[in-house]
Structure 1
């Protein structure tokens, strides 16, 4: 286990203008902590990982692993990967096809000149940890994708590194294997307590594995917090959209209430559709938003957007909107429904239990969409939380 400190890390790629992949990023990782770098393609997460590994040379910054400085651009220190005491698990497995599983796992030990008997013992221990001891004499071509990934994980752990780096290691697996290997990895970290940095664009992986999540945008950390805090209290609209609050409704203030920007709304009290545009009737009266805001964006998860027949009145605490069904698909215990509300398209999950009407939803059908005020999060025009309560801390925004 090792404490990791990243200070002012910056990486640019040549071009006109140069592309800034990592932008003055700083991060501290405690010994035994599992940090997940989460974000879309191009946000800088993989480049950050490669700088940690020594596979990329940053333009600025410092990196230390424990008491060893492995990178100091100004001090002209840049240790190569084999001197950094790291293990790495790649997306593509990167197993040597001409080597047996035993030799693949033992490769980092040979490069570190570990004594033969000690190396044999570490190979056996690492293979046992990931449940591939029975595969030691096979070649990679004789293994399934899940088995190859477990071998890659054993190789990353065999040398007992100070830091283990994971570059989207589960993305090449099918859904069932991905869940299985993810659970095994979570259990393994709980048992061994190694320090880890895990890169992914999959929020489910991030929430399940991370002690803390670093949500990245344009080479910076937009929010750094526990999975629970990131999920429940996204600090910015960017984080909210990426962590599953995919539904977005723009509202603007009119008098003491709010109207839906861009199209007709519905009276919250009567449920009646407005016939003359969004400005004629309020969508909602009071919302937990400071009165100083004139425009807000409402963010919702699909399972927090409810549907009911157009003639049915939603609960008094709900914000109701006239909607039209664009598409409806069977999802098992619910229907996955896309609805059009003014200029916005939103996703809803309509439970089938006790609501047989949802099975017959059809394109063009008029319905009422509604959400509870406390189920939504609200963001101002700059993407910051617009709430009477103190928002979660944003880092590097």
Structure 2
């Protein structure tokens, strides 16, 4: 399997002013590694993927697959997609409606002029791997969404590509099928060890599938690390917000301690004295609620809050509170907290969090306190 090397990749789109979709991006992917490009719409992840595939022509940069240069803008090298030995799985499945599953899977083999006997063997073997061997004589219209996605995956793998590219392949599936296909893909990668680049805006997919995550922002990689490190140690506030720390509370230093808006905050904030204002990032399940006459436990940070909305979530209540003029989302477990079942808008509560659950960021978006030292940040 192939190692992928991207050097100084830049892609601009015409306009006034021109839009820079990918901005000097560099990335190395080891053989057999599954790398996820994660970020919101417009961050450059799909343009990067299309540049790897040969479907987009960058303005600057160099790409090599398995030691072969497939793009070098300065040297005017730009191999077309059919010369790059890649497989691609699209968001829309992109199956030919007039072809059987067998012919859809085998299309890359015909394009590469693989012999008939070899093609039959590879098609049937790959169909078995993705659990669609019983569908080979059907047409796409006769398949469910999950079955179509498995066929698309088989087509991406059948020609033994050096690199498999995934363009948000599960976004059209319902939640149950998405979980099922994700688990099958994870198992398949563990068995076959193919090199992959997977594009998504879904953090759950990224955490479950990636060997490494590249969090993208404005055409650059904001943080590149293992899923565990990115989840536990987001290097910047942007990464924290995107990886699930959706609650943001601004604290400012006062003469007697700290405050959120006009509300005093109880507890010690572990921030160096030179910082007069910080942004706290927290996950919804780290924001805890207590009745207004209850004090948070020792070592916790708390402040008065008011309920905005409360919804039943099964084993928890999804509660939105206003604290210091900021809306916070709390996933409050019902076990041991029966009182939260009856929360109504306008009720006073105390919102609090354990100090070790928070990460504190300064004015420059950098982490200044909380958890362990910052994870490596990519270029």
TM-score range, shorter chain: over 0.9
SS across alignment from 1:131? coil
Query: Shift of the alpha carbon at 1:257?
Result: 2.8
Query: Shift of the alpha carbon at 1:253?
Result: 1.8
1:336 aligned onto 2:336: no
Can you list the C-alpha shifts for 1:213-261, whole angstroms capped at 9, x where unaligned? 000000000000000000000000000000000000101122473222x
CA contact (8 A) 2:101 2:140 kept: yes
Residue equivalent to 1:316 = 298
1:305 aligned onto 2:304: no
Can you list the C-alpha shifts for 1:64-85, whole angstroms capped at 9, x where unaligned? 0011100000000000000000
Residue equivalent to 2:373 = 390
Residue equivalent to 2:124 = 124
Structure 1 residue ranges without an equivalent (≥5): 269-283
Alignment root-mean-square deviation, CA: 1.0
1:101 aligned onto 2:101: yes
Residue equivalent to 2:359 = 377
Query: Shift of the alpha carbon at 1:295?
Result: 1.3
Task: Give the number of equivalent residue pairs.
Answer: 378
Structure 1 Cα separation of the partners of residues 309 and 320 of structure 2 = 5
Query: Shift of the alpha carbon at 1:390?
Result: 2.7
Structure 2 Cα separation of the partners of residues 367 and 323 of structure 1 = 5
Matches for 1:119-268 after TM superposition, within 5 Å: 119-255=119-255, 257-260=257-260, 262-266=261-265, 268=266
Residue equivalent to 2:72 = 72
Query: Shift of the alpha carbon at 1:351?
Result: 1.1
Q: Which of 331, 337, 354 is 1:355 aligned to?
A: 337
Structure 2 Cα separation of the partners of residues 263 and 202 of structure 1 = 36
1:289 aligned onto 2:271: yes
Structure 2 Cα separation of the partners of residues 238 and 179 of structure 1 = 27
Query: Shift of the alpha carbon at 1:314?
Result: 1.2
CA contact (8 A) 2:258 2:264 kept: no
Can you list the C-alpha shifts for 1:155-176, whole angstroms capped at 9, x where unaligned? 0000000000000000000000
Structure 1 Cα separation of the partners of residues 167 and 229 of structure 2 = 24
Residue equivalent to 1:13 = 13
Structure 2 Cα separation of the partners of residues 26 and 138 of structure 1 = 43
Query: Shift of the alpha carbon at 1:395?
Result: 1.8
Structure 1 Cα separation of the partners of residues 307 and 373 of structure 2 = 36
Instruction: Report the TM-score, using the length of structure 1 for normalisation.
Output: 0.94
SS across alignment from 2:353? strand
Can you list the C-alpha shifts for 1:328-354, whole angstroms capped at 9, x where unaligned? 000001100000012210000111112
Residue equivalent to 1:280 = none
SS across alignment from 1:293? coil
Can you list the C-alpha shifts for 1:247-288, whole angstroms capped at 9, x where unaligned? 00101122473222x33234x2xxxxxxxxxxxxxxx43x22
Instruction: Report the TM-score, using the length of structure 2 for normalisation.
Output: 0.98
Matches for 1:28-107 after TM superposition, within 5 Å: 28-107=28-107
CA contact (8 A) 2:101 2:135 kept: yes
Structure 2 Cα separation of the partners of residues 86 and 131 of structure 1 = 22
How has the CA–CA distance of structure 1 residues 387 and 147 changed in structure 2, closer, same or farther, with 3 Å as cutoff?
A: same
Structure 2 Cα separation of the partners of residues 264 and 354 of structure 1 = 28
Ranges of 4+ aligned residues in structure 1 off by more than 4 Å: none
Structure 1 Cα separation of the partners of residues 290 and 14 of structure 2 = 54
Structure 1 Cα separation of the partners of residues 169 and 107 of structure 2 = 19
Can you list the C-alpha shifts for 1:152-195, whole angstroms capped at 9, x where unaligned? 00000000000000000000000000000000000000000000
Query: Shift of the alpha carbon at 1:394?
Result: 1.7
Structure 2 Cα separation of the partners of residues 390 and 291 of structure 1 = 18
After the TM superposition, which of the residue ranges 340-349 and 2-11 deviates more from structure 2? 340-349
Query: Shift of the alpha carbon at 1:392?
Result: 1.4
Query: Shift of the alpha carbon at 1:387?
Result: 2.2
Structure 2 Cα separation of the partners of residues 163 and 288 of structure 1 = 45
Structure 1 Cα separation of the partners of residues 255 and 263 of structure 2 = 17
After the TM superposition, which of the residue ranges 180-189 and 291-300 deviates more from structure 2? 291-300
